[in-house]
Structure 1
Amino acid sequence: MSEPRQETQEFWRHAAFRELGLLKARFREHRYDRHTHDGYVIALITDGCERVRVGRQVVLAPAGSVLVVNPEEWHDGEAGAEEGWAYRTFYPSVALLSELATELGQPHVPLFPQALLDDPELARLLAAAHAESTSPEATRAETSLLTALRRLILQHGDADRPAEPLDRSGSQRRLSRYEQVIEDGLAGEIDLQGLAVAAGVTRFQVIRDFKKLTGSTPATFIRDRRLRRANRLIQEGASLADAAFAAGFSDQSHLSRSFRAVHGITPGMFRKAG
C-alpha cells in the first residue's frame, strides 16, 4: 500500500501587491473550522476535491474548479475525496477588487453569487497568476494577476444586484452593537451576558441573532475576530506572544492552534511571509 501524500503548505506575499497573500497547499486530514475573512478568498483546486460550506450551501469543488468566498462569508473546508485536495489560493482585499471594478466600469464593490465556478479559462489564468506571483519582473506578476481578476469580475461578479433589503427584525442593528462590544473587549473576557446587556436583550436572543445573521455561534464569531486582530498585529511586527495576549488568547500555543485550524498555516509562517 502506498504512503499517503504528506500535507504541505506554503504562504507568501505577491511581488507587485504586498498586501495580497497567497497559499499553496495540499491537505488530506486537515479541516478548516468555520471562519470569515475581511477580504476575498479565491481558490483554484489543482488536485483531488474539497468540500466547503459557504454560508448555508455545501459545495464539492473538484480539480479544475474555482472557489470564491466573499468578504465576511462564513465558511469551512475539508477533504471531499479520500485523497484530499490541493489548491492555490489568493486573498485579495476589498480595496483591491473595488479599485479594479472601478477601472472596469463596475458600479459596486464586487460580489460573487456563485461559490463554485466551472470556468476553464479563469482556472488557466489563475494558475498562471499564482505561478508568476513571485516573478522578479514585477510588471509580469502584476499583469497576470490583473488579467485573471478582470475575468473573474466581469464574468462572475454580480454588477446589477439590487439594494440591500431592509432589516425589520432588529437583528442586524443588534449585531452591530455586539461587534462593537467584542472589538472593544477582545483582550479580556467576553460573555453572553455582557453582549445581552449591551443590546438590551436576553442571552438566548444573542444566540439567535448570531445564528440568523452569521450561521454560527457567538464563541466562533469572537474567536474569528481575535484571529483577525492577531493577524493584523503580526503583520505590523508584533511578536507572536504579544499578538496572542493583545487579541485575547490564553497564550501563544492557543493562538497557534486556532490560527492553523482557520488558516491552514502557523502564525510563524504567516509572519515570515510579511
Structure 2
Amino acid sequence: MKTSPLEQTRFWQAQALGDIEMLHARYVQQRFAPHVHEGYVITIIESGAQRFWHRGSEHLAPVGSMVLINPDELHTGAKAHEQGWRYRGYYPDTERITGVLDELELKRCGLPIFDASVIQDPQLARAFSGLHCSAEHDASALEQQTAWREAVLMLVQRHARVRGTPLPGHEPGAVARAKELLDSLLACPPSLEQLAAEVGLSPFHFARVFRQATGLPPHAWLKQRRLGRAREMLRQDCPPLTVAFALGFSDQSHLNRQFKQAYGVTPGEYRRACSGH
C-alpha cells in the first residue's frame, strides 16, 4: 500500500499507564477496513474530519470531537476532509477502564458502554488530548497516572452506561463451539459445510445463527480473529513473516496489507513499539 508523504504515524505503548496502546497519526489516503478491537477505542480529532461506519450507520467526526468505540464493535474509518484528519488515539483493554472504577470503589454491574459514536465535550477532549501529549513526551508516571484516572472518571460519568456482563451459556452453544473450532484452526479453517456439520446445523441456518450472535459472518469473524492473534504474536516479538505463516496469510505482504487497513500501522511498526526497539 502506498503511503502519502503527508501521512504520519507514531504508535507506542504507554508504560506508565499499564502499556495502553497509543497512536498519534495524520491520514489522507488511509482507509480502515471493517475491523474490531478487543478493548475500547477513544480518539480525539485534532484537525480535519473523519467519517466512519459504526452500528449500522455512517458518522462524521469533525475537529474537536471525540470518537468512542466499545470492545468488539465493527467499524471503519476514512477522511471526511480533503486534507485528511489528524487524531490522538487510545486503545485500552477493558481492565484499564474498569480498574479505575474499581479503584475508586464505584459500584458497577458490568462493562461501561458508550451509546454515542461521536461526542462533543471540549473539556473531556482537552483532558485526553493533554494526557496523550504528556505520554508522548515522557512526562512523569505520577503525572500520567493521575491524569488518566481523572479523564476516565469524567468520561464514564458523562457518557457511559453500565451493561451487565452476559452469563456463561447466553451465547448459542453452536456459535461458541464454532468459535472454538475456528480459533484452533486459524491457519487452515474448515469450510462452512464442515463447521455446520460439527455443530449439528444446516449450513444456511448455522450462518444465520452465527451472524446474529457475533454481528459477522464466519469468514469475517475469522479474519478479525487472525488479526487479533497477529497482534498477540507481534507483542511477543515474533517476526511478521513467522506470524503470517502461522496464521494462514498467503504471504507477509498479505498480512501487512490487512494489518495496516485495520490498525493504521504496519506489523513491523507495531512489533517495534511493543518490544521497545
Q: Which residue number corresponds to residue 148 of structure 1?
A: 151
Taking structure 1 as reference, are residues 7 and 117 closer, same or farther at Cα in structure 2, changes over 3 Å only?
A: same
Distance 1:126 1:172 in 2: 38
- Tell me which amino acid in the other structure corresponds to 2:152: L
1:189 aligns with 2:189: yes
Q: Give SS of 1:133's match.
A: helix
Structure 2 matches for 1:150-165, cutoff 5 A? 150-159=153-162, 161=163
Q: Which residue number corresponds to residue 107 of structure 2?
A: 106
Q: 1:114-169: CA deviations, max 9, x gaps?
A: 1211111110001101101142411112222222112111111103x46869x9xx
Q: Which residue number corresponds to residue 89 of structure 1?
A: 89
Contact persistence 1:45–1:65 (CA under 8 A): yes
Structure 2 matches for 1:40-79, cutoff 5 A? 40-79=40-79
Contact persistence 2:8–2:26 (CA under 8 A): yes
Q: Give SS of 1:110's match.
A: strand
Distance 2:61 2:5 in 1: 19
Report the alpha carbon displacement of residue 205 of structure 1 after superposing the two structures with TM. 2.4
Q: Which residue number corresponds to residue 250 of structure 1?
A: 250
Q: Which residue number corresponds to residue 122 of structure 1?
A: 124
Contact persistence 2:50–2:80 (CA under 8 A): yes
Taking structure 1 as reference, are residues 249 and 62 closer, same or farther at Cα in structure 2, changes over 3 Å only?
A: same
1:137 aligns with 2:158: no
Contact persistence 1:15–1:141 (CA under 8 A): no
Q: Give SS of 2:227's match.
A: helix
Contact persistence 2:39–2:93 (CA under 8 A): yes
Report the alpha carbon displacement of residue 54 of structure 1 after superposing the two structures with TM. 1.6
Q: 1:41-95: CA deviations, max 9, x gaps?
A: 1011111111111222321111111111111111111112322211110000011
Give the length in aligned residue pairs: 268
Q: Which moved more, 1:178-187 or 1:75-84?
A: 75-84
Contact persistence 2:183–2:225 (CA under 8 A): yes
Contact persistence 2:182–2:189 (CA under 8 A): no
Distance 1:33 1:214 in 2: 18
Contact persistence 1:66–1:116 (CA under 8 A): yes
Q: Which moved more, 1:261-270 or 1:198-207?
A: 198-207
Taking structure 1 as reference, are residues 265 and 30 closer, same or farther at Cα in structure 2, changes over 3 Å only?
A: same
- Tell me which amino acid in the other structure corresponds to 1:130: H
- Tell me which amino acid in the other structure corresponds to 2:128: L
Taking structure 1 as reference, are residues 28 and 106 closer, same or farther at Cα in structure 2, changes over 3 Å only?
A: farther
Contact persistence 1:16–1:142 (CA under 8 A): yes
Distance 2:195 2:19 in 1: 33
Distance 1:181 1:34 in 2: 23
Q: Give SS of 2:224's match.
A: helix
Distance 2:185 2:193 in 1: 13
Contact persistence 1:35–1:220 (CA under 8 A): no
Structure 2 matches for 1:230-245, cutoff 5 A? 230-245=230-245
Taking structure 1 as reference, are residues 246 and 77 closer, same or farther at Cα in structure 2, changes over 3 Å only?
A: same
**What percentage of aligned pairs have identical amino acids?**
33
Q: Which moved more, 1:204-213 or 1:8-17?
A: 204-213
Structure 1: which 5+ residue stretches go unaligned?
none
Contact persistence 1:34–1:220 (CA under 8 A): no
Taking structure 1 as reference, are residues 33 and 209 closer, same or farther at Cα in structure 2, changes over 3 Å only?
A: farther
Distance 2:79 2:175 in 1: 32
Distance 1:191 1:246 in 2: 19
Distance 2:165 2:185 in 1: 33
Q: Give SS of 2:222's match.
A: helix
